[in-house]
Structure 1
Amino acid sequence: MKPSTLNRIWARLILMSLSRAGVKDICIAPGSRSTPLTLEAEALSAQNPSVRIHTHFDERGLGFLALGLAKTTDNPVAVIVTSGTAVANLIPAAAESRLTREKLIFLTADRPPELIQCGANQAISQEGIFSHHAETTTFLPSPSEAVSPSWLLSVIGEGLHQLVTGGGSYHINCPFPEPLYGEMEDASHYLAPVNAWLAGDQPYLSFTHAQADLQTLLPCWQALQHQRGILVAGRMRRDAREAVQSLADHLGWPLLCDPQAGEGSDFAGFDVWLQNPDCSALLKQSEVVIQFGGRLVSKRLGQFVDDFKGAYWLVDKHPGRLDPSHRSGTRIIADIHKVALALEKGLEKSPANAGWGDMLKMASARYLALLDNVAGGTLSELSMATHFGSWLVGGSDLFIGNSMAIRLLDMGCRLPACEVFANRGASGIDGLIATAAGVQRGREKPMLMVMGDTSALYDLNSLALLANNLNPMALVIINNDGGGIFDMLPVPETQKDTYYRMPHGLSFSHAAAMFGLKYQRPATLHEAKTCCLEAQSSPGTTVIELCTPAGACGQDLKALFADIAHASLI
């Protein structure tokens, strides 16, 4: 067979394997060397309408688009790129995927080995390019009739099993020799060993897993439930959040909710009220901490866990280590929803210390009232955070950017019940727009997104992914002329603007126009809320630019912290 035919056959077997492993979304960037994969992906989608094709001209944005799609489902998402630096542009998405366990499959085209490191065009060394950021790597040989299709299906099947079991990224490197184009030849003799598999619809390899009874994993629960404890809700989905809330209600323990938990609690604003000595002293009376989900935003809560000396449980499906304090404790690698239900099922009728921390509810209410008074009714970052919960339409998803955006909501907002998405693995500012676009494509629901100006500038290319959007998207960009997070950090004052904040003096009106997006620049807090509500109710993307004075947010927060430290909250 000609190389062009064999290239296509291998690409077909790979993509069929991916489809049978649950892949329903394939993201493709332009390129010639990846032609066999691109053409077979298109053919697969034509045969199977449940397989969707997504395209983007920027490989870095494409990787984050796939990451967003993967956040909405337990199915893996495939990415196809050409050879060379196109592959390197996927590293940021791979790094995030490793930390947060979204399932990504990188199908990277490559030159054959004889064209590497010899001056050939668009050829770099791609072996090991993702380093530890990819959980599994399959570095294929160039397609050859000497290599059985059974071997190809088997090695891909084993890699897919590892991906489905543990999450993260799976890198399949495909070195295709030329010619890349041409009519397909008859390949029936080559495919004969796998004819039975081709005629079916099952994966090439099947695996089974034993399920442990959660009750046998939690032998200490009968004693711990009668102690003074707190529950911490980190990143989780809505069903898990509801189960954790029910557990908290029956236990009578304080529930501290990270913004990624999807709904606030009666103890909202703890990142700030923990700076109050009375509140901190009361919380330190706890003897048990059960944390559901990792990647907490609050610095103060992280410090509390660091210093905590009692029984500590951390529950998350993520198989890796999620405790940066490296403390002794019980790590339960399991579904949050199932564990919360099991703990509630194991409760006795009257836990001895129910309601022990209820005074912190009063502290939260007093803090939020004080915050509302301090923020006032003028448009600022602090007032935005204080009122943000009312800007979200029921049924909309929320995507929160990194840096100051997520910290502001953690400090000042009790979120309503909604699905919340964020990139809190590496917590970088790259690829946020692309990730949100992927989430919305996967969910097909209205979305409210909030992010900073530097983050938006970093991912400006990805505004193209929000053009021709059939679903409502309100993209709120807080423009404080640079990296406002550095106002909260002890960076050198004389170098702050030059090397940290980096003021840009730019407006996003022209960017919105360039990509055909609607644009609003509200001047008041009321106008900002109206713009957000309207944008979540009409198809298409609206960029809503909130312009605030540089440095004002940092000054407001420092003054707030000082007030709270001396306030009478309980």
Structure 2
Amino acid sequence: MSHETGGRIGPVNPSTTGARVLLDELVRLGLREVVLCPGSRSAPLAYAAHDLEVAGRIRLHVRVDERSAAFLALGLAKTSRRPAAVITTSGTAVANLHPAVLEAHHGAVPLLLLTADRPPELRGIGANQATDQIGVYGEHVRLALELETPADPSRQAPAWRTAAARAVAAATGALGGTGTAGPVHLDLPYRDPLAPSGGDLAPSGGLPDPLLGRPDGAAWVALPEPATWTATPVAGPAALLAHDPDTLVVIGELPTAQHRAAALAWATHHGAPVIAEPGPGGSPLVLPHGDRILAAAHWVGEHLPSRVVVVGRPTLGRAVPALTRTPGLRVEVVTPGEPGAAGWADATHTAAAVHPFAALGVQGEGKEVTPFARTWLAAGERVAAALAPDARADADLDGPVTARVVHDALPEDSALFLGSSSVARDIAHGTAHVRDDVEIVTSRGLAGIDGCVSTAVGLALSRPGPTLALLGDLTFLHDANGLLIGPDEPRPDLTIVVVDDDGGSIFSTLEYGVAELEGPMRRLFTTPTGTDIELLCAAHGVPATTVTDAAGLAQLVSRPSTGIRVIRVPVDPGARRAAGQASRDAVVAALAD
């Protein structure tokens, strides 16, 4: 079989043709970012992706580490809400995607996993780099499909294009129902030959007429606009969440900024105070240092709400779970449809009612700020005043002060990516009110430290404005391979601020940090590495500098980066527990006045 491509005649290679058809259809459905890892079995996909980049239809990113590659794709899709694809060869490469798959699953990020595979006749016989890839990600993907091994492209092309539509629909949550955005796995078996030949080398990636798809670049299957891209609650009056003047709203991790905005709009409409995980303020009803207020158990006990509405999934600290366990307190949960065993977040098993996200719709005139809310807002002002000295401009740089300096110095319209562990809490403890012109982005689907450098790189590549990542040293080192970017690859403009306490000092704030357990603490939990971060960056050709004062840090952060740069901020690893206790004591004293 042959076809005419770019004026030349050449044979049709079933494997390379199948890969071209599939990627062509994914691009028609909105795919714009593809991350490729090197490999032999995935060669048909690699050539197809290269041709699409030459044609200006996608942007291609090549990475040597599959785990970092998957997190890069996650970062590219996280705020753009367009699915990004990662391509790997077979074998262990497939397993290396799993950490990012888990984060995308729990964080509702649209991700396409295109893993090349051996054809069926090479499985289970001891062939090299062959394992059972079917179902490898289990329930952590929205859809898993094994496509038919390319053999007769003219017959198989409609099925490949339909599979692409099913994959994008599942990854974006386009069909609504109980599904949300998340990862999708396409297992793609290819037989030799895996390299193009003759006319298959045409840069246009041309296909013969029977394989061209719908005319005018239309998708084979037209999909509806994904509801999760807009996150606009719509419900009839009877289904809306009722007003209660003594309601406290808790906003946890949510898939998109639009979800957060809708939750804040509901709270504002009902005049309810809000305790929220780091993100744009958007409402004067967001309490400063909210988890610190909740930790003042005596004051909270005297000013209990009658109802707590939890939107999304709280992930920072133990104060919210402690509140929801209060006897007699009514807890209602609003879910954006995140996956899980029961479909909503209720770690304390105290929820009395669960509502779909549409219940946050608002109708009619908004309510005045309630007396209950005024009491909590006044408490928030006292707490903000009490903690302000901890964030003075000339203070020593600890975690919260570093977070505040970075936050305040960011240029307008910046994105601030927060690593997991301490720095996500440092923003909440060091900053009373998050700026509305700063987009806070986190990966708290599972809140692991995996892949944070690569996720930040993807975020920076997916948006036009300045991007900064605030990471702990272990989080940074855990994904140092995220700095492995070849000379021909798109490079982000990204500043990475590393809060270096030589280990995981967050453990010192937990029960493991008490004095009687300090003997094995360092080796078993804080795990210091002694790595010279500046030398590590130099090995990757990434400029790095160490800053020890607030003024110097603010000056560097205020200037957007060209390319990747790293700012190391050394902090005292032994001070976090004592500083946290001092802050809690200050809050208790302020609320006792």
Give the TM-score taking structure 2 as reference length: 0.85
Moved more, 107-116 or 451-460: 107-116
Indicate whether 1:463 and 2:483 are aligned. yes
Question: Does residue 1:158 correspond to 2:166, yes or no?
Answer: yes
Aligned residues: 552
Per-residue CA deviation, residues 12-49 of structure 1 (Å, 9 max, x unaligned), is 121122112211111111112111111111222333x2
Q: How does 1:297-446 map to 2 (within 5 A)?
A: 297-307=316-326, 309-310=329-330, 312-316=332-336, 318=338, 320-326=343-349, 327-334=351-358, 342-343=361-362, 345-347=363-365, 350=367, 354-374=370-390, 377-413=395-431, 414-417=433-436, 418-446=438-466
Residue 539 (structure 2) pairs with residue 523 (structure 1): no
Counterpart residue number, 1:11: 19
* Deviation digits for residues 270-307 of structure 1 (CA, Å, limit 9, x no counterpart): 111222235312552x2333344434424212332344
- Find the aligned partners of 2:224 and 2:317 in 1 and give their Cα distance: 39
CA distance in 1, matches of 2:547, 2:225: 54
Give the counterpart of 1:181 among 188, 192, 195. Answer: 195
**Structure 1 residue aligned with 2:203:** none
Structure 2 CA distance for aligned equivalents of residues 412 and 282 of structure 1: 26
Shift of 1:250: 4.3
Q: Deviations over 1:145-203 (max 9, x none)?
A: 296322333334333332232321111111111121241579xxx976655x3434233
- Structure 2 residue runs of 5 or longer lacking an equivalent are 3-10, 174-179, 201-206
Is 1:202 the counterpart of 2:222 in the alignment? no
Q: 2:293: which partner in 1?
A: 273
Cα 1:438–1:220 shift into 2, 3 Å: closer
Shift of 1:122: 2.0
C-alpha distance in 2 between matches for 1:12 and 1:363: 61
In the TM superposition, residue 79 of structure 1 has moved relative to its aligned partner by 1.0
The TM-score with structure 1 as length reference comes to: 0.88
Is the 8 Å Cα contact of residues 308 and 331 (structure 2) preserved in structure 1?
Answer: yes
| Range that drifts further, 525-534 or 86-95 | 525-534
Q: Which position in structure 2 is the counterpart of 1:75? A: 82
* Cα gap change, 1:569 to 1:242, in 2 (>3 Å): farther
Structure 2 residue aligned with 1:41? 49
Match of 2:204 in 1: none
Which residues in structure 2 correspond to 1:204-243 (within 5 Å)?
204-206=220-222, 214-216=234-236, 218-219=238-239, 221=241, 224-235=242-253, 237-238=256-257, 241-242=260-261
What residue number does 1:504 align with?
Answer: 529
Report whether the alignment pairs 1:288 with 2:307. Answer: yes
| C-alpha contact (below 8 Å) 2:495/2:565 kept by paired residues | yes
Pairwise CA distance, 1:80: 0.8
Q: Give the 3 Å change call, closer, same or farther, for CA 157–214 of structure 1 in structure 2.
A: closer
Amino acid at match of 2:552: E
Distance of 1:155 and 1:181 partners within structure 2: 23
Greater mean alpha carbon deviation, residues 454-463 or residues 227-236: 227-236
Query: What do the CA deviations read for 1:335-386 (whole angstroms, capped 9, x no partner)?
Result: xxxx65x31x3346x55x7242223223223223322324661222232245
Q: Secondary structure at the match of 2:462?
A: helix
The superposition leaves residues 316-351 of structure 1 with CA deviations (integer Å, 9 ceiling, x where unpaired) of 2536423323423132144xxxx65x31x3346x55
Q: Answer yes or no: is the 8 Å Cα contact 1:65–1:435 preserved in 2.
A: yes
Partner of 2:61 in structure 1?
54
The 1:115/1:210 distance shift into structure 2, 3 A limit, reads closer
Measure, in 2, the Cα distance between the counterparts of 1:213 and 1:380.
40
Structure 1 residues 325 and 398, CA, compared in 2 at 3 Å: closer, same or farther? same
The one of 99, 109, 123 aligned to 1:116:
123
Larger mean Cα displacement after TM superposition, 207-216 or 272-281 = 207-216
Matched position secondary structure for 1:444: coil
Contact 2:253 2:445 in 1 (8 A): no
1:511, CA displacement in angstroms?
1.8
Q: Which moved more, 1:395-404 or 1:444-453?
A: 444-453
Residues 1:270 and 1:175: Cα distance change in structure 2 (over 3 Å): same
**Residue in 2 that maps onto 1:559:** 582
In 1, Cα distance between equivalents of 2:384 and 2:211: 65
Q: Is the 8 A contact 2:170 2:182 kept in 1?
A: no
Say whether 1:168 aligns with 2:182. yes
How many angstroms apart in 1 are the aligned matches of 2:442 and 2:281?
11
Q: Could you say what the CA RMSD is over the residues aligned between the two structures, in angstroms?
A: 3.0
Q: Aligned partners of 1:295 and 1:434: how far apart in 2?
A: 24
Alpha carbons 1:23, 1:77 under 8 Å: kept: yes
Partners of 1:356 and 1:517 lie apart in 2 by: 52
Counterpart amino acid of residue 371 in structure 1? L
Deviation at 1:64, TM superposition (A): 0.2
8 Å CA contact retained: 2:415, 2:466: yes
Partner of 1:452: 472
Give SS of 2:521's match. helix
d(CA) in 1 for partners of 2:149, 2:265: 55
Is the alpha carbon distance of 1:274 and 1:220 closer, same or farther for their aligned partners in structure 2, counting shifts above 3 Å?
same
Counterpart secondary structure, 2:400: helix
Specify whether residues 569 and 439 from structure 1 end up closer, same or farther in structure 2 by C-alpha distance, changes over 3 A only. farther
Report the equivalent of 1:540: 563
CA positional deviation for 1:528: 1.9
With 487-496 and 88-97 compared, the bigger mean Cα shift is at 487-496
CA distance change for structure 1 residues 331 and 463 in 2, over 3 Å: closer, same or farther?
same
**Residue type matched to 2:434 in 1?**
L
Q: How far is the alpha carbon of 1:471 from its aligned partner?
A: 5.5
What is the Cα deviation at residue 311 of structure 1?
5.7
Moved more, 2-11 or 118-127: 2-11
Change beyond 3 A, Cα 1:281–1:229:
same
Kept in 2, the 8 Å contact 1:276–1:567? The answer is: no
